[in-house]
Amino acid sequence: AQTVTQSQPEMSVQEAETVTLSCTYDTSENNYYLFWYKQPPSRQMILVIRQEAYKQQNATENRFSVNFQKAAKSFSLKISDSQLGDTAMYFCAFTRAGGTSYGKLTFGQGTILTVHP
């Protein structure tokens, strides 16, 4: 079974600064997808960024980028120029690319990020 671990229950950052959230995962699969989802106080789950394991290039979406280290099974999220609206719970998630997973997501425990003015 796959597991996803987020070792930082809470993080804080000053507005305009950079913060990195950590995620590690355990799998014997070679092909899979990794995601970061954001859950603001409204509780809506919003996709931030996704990474395909067979792509070596790290994914980037505006101020959000990942550092994907496949051998180390590490998938961290870097938020640059943090904004107050980035305050949320962030979840790292994993899904297998094959077999009978059919896209079901396995989530980490979440990291609460607070951006201070």
Partner 1 sequence: DSGVTQTPKHLITATGQRVTLRCSPRSGDLSVYWYQQSLDQGLQFLIQYYNGEERAKGNILERFSAQQFPDLHSELNLSSLELGDSALYFCASSGLAGGPSDTQYFGPGTRLTVL
Residues in contact with partner 1 by the rule CB under 8 A: 32-33, 37, 42-47, 50, 52, 91, 95-98, 100-110
Name the residue nearer to partner 1 (CB basis): 105 or 112: 105
Q: In 3D, which of 50, 30, 36, 1 has the Cα closest to residue 108?
A: 36
The least CB distance from residue 113 to partner 1, in Å, is 17
Cβ proximity to partner 1: between 56 and 100 the closer is: 100
User: Nearest to residue 86, comparing CAs of 2, 23, 11, 4?
Assistant: 11
Q: Strand pairing partners for 74?
A: 24, 69
- Give the residue from 26, 24, 4 showing the smallest Cα distance to 93: 4
Question: To the nearest whole angstrom, how small is the minimum distance from the Cβ of residue 67 to partner 1?
Answer: 21
Gap between the Cα atoms of 116 and 12, Å rounded: 7
Query: In terms of CB distance, is 82 or 88 closer to partner 1?
Result: 88
Q: How far is the CB of 43 from partner 1 (least distance, A)?
A: 6
Least distance in Å: CB of 16 to partner 1?
28
What is the distance between the alpha carbons of residues 21 and 66, in angstroms, rounded to a whole number?
9
Nearer to partner 1, 30 or 44 (CB): 44
